[in-house]
Structure 1
């Protein structure tokens, strides 16, 4: 029986970016792991243009994550004129990947999730843009599957569909029902219920310790 995990996160959450690297190391030790991503909607449907104070506050968070995780950051990502920090499109891209790959190993969706994070934080790409998201997601999907099975135009069509938008909204509502207030969160799914392995950023070794304790 495979080990099943729930990963509650948002691709545009900086601590999730730091944590995903640790999670990847943890999962590497568990070849049969199934990882179901539930999208958090950190700043979903935000309509406000980012002002200087917000930018300064967010960049300070990024700097902390950079120091703790050692991961690359391109701090110019927030410098785009009239940038609106809406995390719904990035979350929806992961949901779209989940819909399109339902017959494939769940780790493929984590590959898409990570690719969007890397594009935003390390490459300063605008992952509120559906065209950018489709390009990033398709590249990750094809690289994972070592094929050309996915194409940008089809993915973008699915991404902008009513189904993807509704499914993404359901993810956000589920998080609210569970009362989850912060991301990332990693849960182990067992017959007797859900076991929290991490609430917030954690190192791979901490995840291993929590996992063995839960077993």
Structure 2
């Protein structure tokens, strides 16, 4: 059995799930964890953030429920409403980091969300992946190269397709996958204890 975490790096609720994910992964070192980008803001949804009028209200709700931090640099980044969240670019970055350190994919996914939601760094810029890679002790040149490579678009498209194949309809979703059996452990929000109880019911 393995865990499959389907999220979007530009999803506030996924950011709110970061601490739960960290705890679950640390409690279950025996379970490999795949990280899949879901593609929340693509095609017609790739528009200036001002068109999503609910963002600040939702973020306040997420912070209250999960304790997740939304930093001042992030607030400045989105203040004028012109910032565009591009989930394909973020998925390319997730794929580049995942390629550099497959066994640290969950950790790197949460680090990437911190880079956006706390440090206010765009997930469309190569410099963001350089910084994340350097902080994680990875080969930053290799990560940036992978982010900018044509193959990264294929990796993003494969992630979006896998998310759909798994039947995921919202982010974040944490799944337990055992052969053909797929069980939802968390959708939107859950504590690590709640996930543990659901895992225990599978054994």
Please give the TM-score of this superposition, normalised by the length of structure 1.
0.84
Distance 2:162 2:27 in 1: 29
From 28, 42, 58, the equivalent of 1:44 is 42
Distance change in 2, residues 1:8/1:96 (3 Å): same
Q: Distance in 1 between matches of 2:89 and 2:194?
A: 31
| Matched position secondary structure for 2:54 | helix
- Answer yes or no: is 1:32 the counterpart of 2:30: yes
Counterparts of 1:81-92 in structure 2, within 5 Å, are 82-92=82-92
Give distance in 2, aligned partners of 1:48 and 1:198: 28
Is the Cα–Cα contact under 8 Å of residues 93 and 137 in structure 1 kept in the other structure?
A: no
Rounded to whole Å, the distance in 1 between the matches of 2:133 and 2:79 is: 23
CA distance in 2, matches of 1:8, 1:214: 20
User: Where does 1:1-215 land on structure 2 (aligned, <5 Å)?
Assistant: 3-45=1-43, 46-51=45-50, 53-54=51-52, 56-74=53-71, 75-79=75-79, 82-102=82-102, 106=103, 108-140=104-136, 142=137, 149-151=138-140, 153-191=141-179, 193-215=181-203
State the number of aligned residues.
199
Bigger drift between 33-42 and 127-136 goes to: 127-136
Unaligned stretches of 5+ in structure 1? 143-148
TM-score by length of 2: 0.88
Unpaired stretches in structure 2, ≥5 consecutive residues: none
Structure 1 residue 47, shift from structure 2 partner: 4.1
Cα 1:27–1:79 shift into 2, 3 Å: same
